[in-house]
Amino acid sequence: MNSVIFTAAARLLVALMFVFSLFMLLRGHHLPGGGFIGGLIGAVSFIVYSLACGPAEARKALRVSPEVIAMLGLGIALLAGMFAFFMGDPLFTGQWYWVGGDSYETAAFSINTVLVFDIGVYLVVLGGILSLAYAFEEET
């Protein structure tokens, strides 16, 4: 698509959407958001970029092939679930470490495996959707 307006607007939109996708990812679990929706928004930002500048350029912007991103995400999600093994819990039991308190209401923030799992989901969705979208765009 050779529209100057679209290309110029895309540069701005892509960055904004991608940051928003990260915001959605980090906001998840206790508030609406999370890895799945974040991954979708992140994928859309790259799709907009590839519409504006072509799939070859978009692939370059992603640096890693989307299939690898998806598989890495799967691995991260699974390993996050398997971390529970060291705590003697069953698979996928969330492990929480609260900083400055002992629950969501009182603590300042937390370090947990749930976020790591969500990052894995984010990467799976981002990689999966993009590998489909790029394949479609390169076909035509």
Stretch that binds other proteins, among 3-11, 12-20, 91-99, 103-111 (CB under 8 A): 91-99
Give the CA radius of gyration of the chain: 18
Is residue 67 near other proteins by the rule CB under 8 A? yes
Is residue 135 near other proteins by the rule CB under 8 A? no
Binding test (CB under 8 A) with other proteins, winner from 82, 111, 132, 135: 82
Distance separating alpha carbons of residues 115 and 65, to the nearest angstrom: 23
Q: Smallest distance, Å, CB 5 to other proteins?
A: 39
Is residue 74 near other proteins by the rule CB under 8 A? yes
- Of 115, 32, 124, whose CA–CA distance to 80 is shortest? 115
Helix (H, G, I), strand (E, B) or coil at 96: strand
H-helix or E-strand spanning residue 104: none
Q: How many residues bind other proteins (CB under 8 A)?
A: 16
Binding test (CB under 8 A) with other proteins, winner from 94, 107, 112, 131: 94
Which DSSP symbol is given to 83? G
Helix (H, G, I), strand (E, B) or coil at 48: helix
User: Of 6 and 92, which has the nearer Cβ to other proteins?
Assistant: 92
User: Of 57 and 89, which has the nearer Cβ to other proteins?
Assistant: 89
Distance separating alpha carbons of residues 103 and 138, to the nearest angstrom: 49
Would you tell me which residues interact with other proteins (CB under 8 A)? Answer: 67-68, 71-72, 74-75, 78-79, 82, 85, 89-94
